Structure formats: C-alpha cells, structure tokens
Structure 1
C-alpha cells in the first residue's frame, strides 16, 4: 500500500509540474476551420471462410469465442469442412457541438454482425442474416464523452475502449496500438469508467478507473480496475513507459458472461483458455491483483529509419482469500510474469516491405495450486470474453488474429496458455509488389508450453500462413488469407483435448486433427 501511495504521489507531483508549464488554451485560439457538428465513420467487413473446425454444440450458431478445443466445444475434423459467409458493420458517430468550440464531443459506436443465412424474425447479437431478416441485432459498443479542457488534457467518460497502451484509442491508428504498450494482450476490450490523459510531444500520461461488474448495487460485490500509465520520449526514436494496474474482485463470480459467470472461480476460464484451477467450490472468495510493468519502443511509426523494435515486461501479483468457518483464509498467492519483444527491418520503400520476428514468454504453474500459489499469468480474459486480444503477431491459428466476425477461436487464446505458460513467437515477411497497392505475406509461428500437461508434452505446434491483398483505394481492400497448423504432443493430454457426447460430457479422443483455415475478405474503413 505504501508503494501504491508513493506511486500516485509521484503522479500528483508530475501533474503539478505540468500545470506550471505554459499552455495554449483553446479559448485563446480561433479554430483553423469550422467544426463539423456531426461526423460519421464506419468499418465494414465481408468474408467467406472455410476451415476444418467448428463448435459441436448446436446452440452455438451465433458468436463463438474462446480456446480451440476448450469448453466452447470447438474441435477439428478430418471429415467435416465449414463453408460460410459472415458480415460486420461498425458505424461510428461523433457529435461535436459548436457551442463548446470543439472542447466537448460525444462518440457512439455500434456493431451489427451475422452469418449469411443464420436466423430471422428474432432478437439477439451476432444473428440476423437469413431470408426476410427483420432481426433485432444492433449491439452498443461505445457511448462516451470526451472533454478537452485545453490543448494537452482529455477526459473520457462512459462506455469506452479499454486498451493497455498509453495512447488515446480514439486518436491513434489501431495498428500502432497492436505494437506498443502491452499490445492489447492484457486488456483490449470495452468497459465503463473514466480516464484522464495528458499528451504532448514528449510524454503520455493516462489515469483510469473502470467498473467491470457492479452486480447488486446495495452490496460490496463489485469488480473494478484502476490504471496508471506514463511514457516518456527519451530521444526522437526511443520511448520508455511504465504502468500499474490494480483489480479488486469482490463478486465471488457473480455476473459475467451468460452461464459461464466471471472471475477466478468461474467456468469462463475453461472457455477462454485461462487458468481454471482456482477451484474454491461454493465458498466465497475475494481477490486483490496488481500488474506492474514497463515497455519500450524504438521507431514505433517505422518512418525514421529501417529498424523498429518494441517490447514489454509485466509482472502480476496478488492474493485470493476464501471464506471458511466465518473467517478469511488464503486460497492462493498469485505471482507470474510475461515478456515480449518484436524486431522488424524495412527493406523497401513502404512500411509493408519488411521482415519481423516476434517472441513471447509467459511463466507457468506446474502443480495446480497444491502449494496454494499460482505462478502463471492472469489477463483480462478471466473477467471478459474476450478482454485481452493478442492479435498483432501475424498468426492465424496458433495465436488470434483480427479478421474475425463471429468466430474467435485460436489454439492459444490467452497468454497464460491455461496456466501452463508459453514460449514461442512468429516470423513474417511482407512485400508490396505494387507500392501501397498489392501486398503479399508469408508467416511462421511456433509455441511450446513451459509446463507439460498430464499425459502430454510441451510442444503446442507450428503454423505456416500466407496472405495476398489488393487495395482499391484508401482503406478499401480485398484480401486472401490461409493457414495450416501442425499440432504437437501438448494435445495428447486428456486435460487439453476433448470432444463432447450427446449429454455434454467431455470424451477424450487423443491428439486431434491439425487445424487449417482459408478466407477471402473485403474490408472498407469509411470516412
């Protein structure tokens, strides 16, 4: 607690020093051009997909999220091949009234997803593409205010992007956030809360509070998260940053994602591929967890020279206590860490002409809390589905990728790898055969677990992938992607690979078939 107070004391001091700097207030400026009161943006994606994996549960016709071979019932097959087309539209509205001269605005974004031919005349998310349609399927993504008291400060309030980078998610290209900070691997989702940030030419400061779950308003059964980020430009090419996160979980798993609930003791862990052995039974629990880390970047925009380098280190620590005979006893200590680094070299005239290597490590636990200590990684995927998305590696099957609408089912859906830990990475070569027009990519990905599951080995598998894309114009493209993965002996374990019988009981079938996928994508980011 003393360390927390000391850190926030430093932050208060930094704010005080910033307050002494001369600032240019919008009240002193004339707008360079007339402020548009209402703006519209949208992201559209249409893709045709074929693969050899699918959910066995007949009720999962809409959105399917989580680990391949996990509790979401997804499995591979040597006989059955999927063929489907899916579609997404994310409209984005910004209202910036002239009355406040650009210093206050409202953002609202929504999401409409469906698979062609799935359902009609109903209500719910991720459905509505069958004949006659008439489906109530719009989903609220963000409703938030941005208040701009001066040229440096911005305050965001409401349902907003919760990304684990120091940058403003509404004023930064998404690709940049996939390569900086913690790359959305811990927190990459939406949440309600308030953030205050100060951005200038040499530093970025962000403070945030998020209410993850409120549950019963009259009881102390909430889950909330606080964050602090600070990044400093050391030289024109180098930046260094640090962060502190703290999560308080008093929900005892109440609330959450459908019947899976959320938190350390929920079925969501088997669904998402996070550590699932916080098995406290029917006893109450409370958890306090912190994440302390740092990150760096060199030439993060890939424009100052031909080398780009980024990386992070993050340590999670905490304790979970369990109610027993009227008192709280230790359920588990938590102490684990992860590290990542990515190095890229640009050999051509565009930023798409490059080679890159991406390496990741996450500690693991080898005794399933027999020593009442979890030594693996915890991410936001313990509380959301998904809440951490590590989609910037270039993998399609081994690690998650962003070209998805309704089906987000990678082999490793969470950095913790179910608590077994992870060491692996990707290699990628990309070239523009027509600058900024025609691009081709080749990729390789491999991963091992730190701890071998019972009955299995440490080799998770190796993936090869390729992509070819053509840009019709600014932010409009047609792309073809394909990937194949050779599964390792990690999946010979009954704990990691299973099918389900008609009663929903897990049935081991040995090592599953190797997954593959291919899809044709049309994308348009509209301005």
Structure 2
C-alpha cells in the first residue's frame, strides 16, 4: 500500500512539473472591429488608383452615386513565455455587406448565408531578446514601416529584423524577402513557371540608425537596398535608397522632416539609372483647444528620359500588380491619398506616392471629453506633366495643368465608451485642370466626393 501511495504521489508531482511551463504562459488578446457605410460617386469598394472614368460616365452626366457598407475585424493573439520571448499572431476578416457567401476568398462573406472561409493571416512572428545583450530579434511575417512616415514601405512581409538599443540611440538591421519564384506578375507564364525558390527573388535590406542628441532633438539616417532578379524580364535591378530624418521640439511647436534619395541601375533589356528623391517637412503646434498641423511632401516624377528614371519609387506589390505597399497617411486626406481608415474600398488619386507635390493643413480639436472634430485641406499637383494620373485623349499630349486638385474633408466623432468611437466623415475634391478631357469621349470627369459614418471598437 505504501509503494502505491508513493507511486501515485510521484506521478502527480511529475504531472504538476510538466504543467508549469503551460501555466506560466501569458495569453494576450487585442484587436479591433470597424464598420462604416459609404456614399460616394467614385469609390466602388475596390482598391488602386482613381481613374477619370470612375467619376464620369462619358456622356457628360453625373455618375451614379454608390452606397455600400464595409466591415473589418482584426484579432491579435500573443503567447508570452516571459518578458524576453513571445509569439505574435495577427489575423484579419474583411467583407462588404452583400458581396458573396459560401466561398473561400478573402474580403468576402457579407452576403446572405455568410459562412465564408475568409480568415487572413497578417502576422506570425517570434519576438525575443538575446540575454545579456541589447539585441532584440523579430523573425517571421511581420509589419515593416520605414523611418519616413511609410512612403518607402509600410506593409506586412516575411523578414528578420534585429534592433539594438545603445544609450540614447538605436540601430536596426533587417532582411525581407518580398517575392520568390513565380510570384512575379511581370514576364511570361513560361519564364515564371521555370523558376525555383531562391532563383527569382525580390529582396529588401534595411539599415536604420537613430540618436537622441537632446530630449528635444532627434536625428536619424537610413540605407535601404531593394534588389530584384527576374529571369528574362526588365524586372532586374538594384536600387539604393539613402535617407536622413530629424525632429526638433521648441514649445509649442514640433518640427520634423526627412530627405530620401535613390540611386541604382536596371539590368534588363532596357537599361536605365534611378535618380528619384522625396522630401517632407511637418510642423505641429498647440493652438487653442486643439492642434494645428501643416505638412509638405515632394516625390519626384519621371522626366521621360531614355536612360534615366527620375521618379521616386516606393515598394509595390508585384503579386497583386500595382497595389502600393507604401503610403503617406500623415496627409490626412480621404480621396487625394490613401486613408488610414480604408478597408477594401481603398481608392485614391495618388495611390502610389510618386510624381507629386502636396501641401496639407489640418486642425484637430477636442470639443468635450467625448466629442471631437477635425478638418483638413490639401493642395496637390504633379511634379512632371505626364500620364501618371490618367490618360489624355491625344496620346502623349500634355495636360492643361500640373494641378491635380484641392481636397476638403472633415470629421466629427463621439466616444461612446473609452474603446468605442462613432464618427461622421466627409470629403470633396475640386479637380484641377490636369484632368480636363481625360474621361471617356473627351469629357471632363466630375469632382469626386465621399461621406462615411463609422463605428470603431479597439481592445
């Protein structure tokens, strides 16, 4: 009997011992749920550049007003072993009400019946520190955002990122494989199917440094290398992007900005040199109950040279063709530039940040502890007078003007709870002469507008 009791006790102790690591694991859940209804004469629920025909029916009549409802859920689960080791996972479910059901496609499942396999994996990566060192590693599919407000890259990608914090500064080094083998859309099907993993790739190398000179003055510098090697196509190049950035606070004003310059050369049949550049300057100041912000952005355009591409180039998605994997959300535009609240209806006149000069002014004000409002105006022009924003009716003829348009937008919101916000948004663009006669049959496109009512829950 004594031996049996000892055996049971030993088995129980072993069970408890093996369960300790599982019991010690911390589980964190975060996420958001966003739903909004849209009324617009241009937004069709798709993504990409806004083309003139989308705001004109070609017969001089106003295009049909569109109305739809979109929703997005993001779910994040973090398995935390301790303060130095955790696994981060992030998932997304998007749909437009009435879109489809009983299917296996992303951004679907809003039609009657629902029951759609549409869970998207945004991030799966390991986040850990190296003991007794200042090094942190993130390995896996993760969010990557540059030090330039996202105008070079702001996307999810498979990568390894190492960060070291050294006193008042930090250094980041990383590698990301953006595309591999037959994910390229450029080139013939035969050339793409003939590739094997590691033989036709697009890779990104990152090096970032930041230093706090004082508590009010911060500076940084970066070196990004984007390489592409696609068999028998023009998508063969090495592009170097060099940048500097800084921020300075002198009450009540904070000024920040950056400068980026790109060099490199293509290795395909049509050889040309890269020579694009971009710059930004932003000032924020406390004014009355709210904050006033003024921002300037420049991204160079193409000079139509045979051996030089002077356009600034951000990272794009070659798997889904021209979808930009960079942005300039700081503009706070809803139509001229991509908007941070967009779900599947992600249309913009300047979808990829290039060939653009923009000035933006905005004011954000808390009216009460729960009620807030903001308003923005943007003035946007093309750097070079070419066909980046819509074809002309006379081939390569230049547009009447380089001015793209002026956007006015505003938002009024109310915090129902600390985590739940309801808001009403509206935007209107007065198109510039750049777009004259660019719609079908030589018609002038209509000025685009959009109104949205939104509920946003974050936890």
> What TM-score results when the alignment is normalised by the length of structure 1?
0.73
* CA-CA distance at 1:381 after TM superposition: 2.3
Per the alignment, residue 264 of structure 1 pairs with none
Structure 1 residues 160 and 135: alpha-carbon distance in aligned structure 2, compared to 1, 3 A threshold: same
Q: Tell me which of 211, 223, 236 is aligned to 1:286.
A: 236
Structure 1 residues 200 and 455: alpha-carbon distance in aligned structure 2, compared to 1, 3 A threshold: same
Per the alignment, residue 455 of structure 1 pairs with 398
Q: Tell me which of 279, 297, 320 is aligned to 1:339.
A: 279
Structure 1 residues 460 and 228: alpha-carbon distance in aligned structure 2, compared to 1, 3 A threshold: same
Question: Contact (CA 8 Å) 1:291, 1:315: kept in 2 or not?
Answer: yes
Question: Contact (CA 8 Å) 2:324, 2:352: kept in 1 or not?
Answer: no
In structure 2, runs of 5+ residues without a counterpart are 1-22, 182-194, 387-396
* CA-CA distance at 1:508 after TM superposition: 4.9
Deviations 1:321-376 (A, max 9, x none): 224xxxxxx51111010100110111246xxx111101011222232x4x311111
Per the alignment, residue 295 of structure 2 pairs with 358
Deviations 1:86-122 (A, max 9, x none): 100000000012xxx3321101111100011111111
Listed as ranges, the matches of 1:108-507 within 5 Å are 108-150=89-131, 152-165=134-147, 182-199=148-165, 202-215=168-181, 216-217=195-196, 220-251=199-230, 283-299=233-249, 305-323=251-269, 331-348=271-288, 353-367=290-304, 369=305, 371-381=306-316, 383=318, 385-416=323-354, 421-435=355-369, 437-453=370-386, 454-456=397-399, 457-492=401-436, 497-498=438-439, 507=440
> What TM-score results when the alignment is normalised by the length of structure 2?
0.84
Deviations 1:11-60 (A, max 9, x none): xxxxxxxxxxxxxxxxxxxxxxx9762110011101011100145xxxxx
Rounded to whole Å, the distance in 1 between the matches of 2:204 and 2:443 is: 40
Deviations 1:185-216 (A, max 9, x none): 11000100100002366212110000011114
Question: Contact (CA 8 Å) 1:465, 1:481: kept in 2 or not?
Answer: yes
Question: Contact (CA 8 Å) 1:65, 1:386: kept in 2 or not?
Answer: no
Question: Contact (CA 8 Å) 1:76, 1:514: kept in 2 or not?
Answer: no
Per the alignment, residue 513 of structure 1 pairs with 446
In structure 1, runs of 5+ residues without a counterpart are 1-33, 56-62, 166-181, 253-281, 324-329, 499-506
Rounded to whole Å, the distance in 1 between the matches of 2:235 and 2:73 is: 40
Rounded to whole Å, the distance in 2 between the matches of 1:451 and 1:208 is: 34
Aligned residues between the structures: 405
Higher strand share: 2
Per the alignment, residue 90 of structure 1 pairs with 74
Deviations 1:266-294 (A, max 9, x none): xxxxxxxxxxxxxxxx7555111110011
Q: Specify the SS of the correspondent of 1:204.
A: strand
* CA-CA distance at 1:149 after TM superposition: 1.7
Q: Specify the SS of the correspondent of 2:111.
A: coil
Q: Tell me which of 48, 51, 57 is aligned to 2:37.
A: 48
Rounded to whole Å, the distance in 2 between the matches of 1:413 and 1:316 is: 20
Question: Contact (CA 8 Å) 1:428, 1:443: kept in 2 or not?
Answer: yes
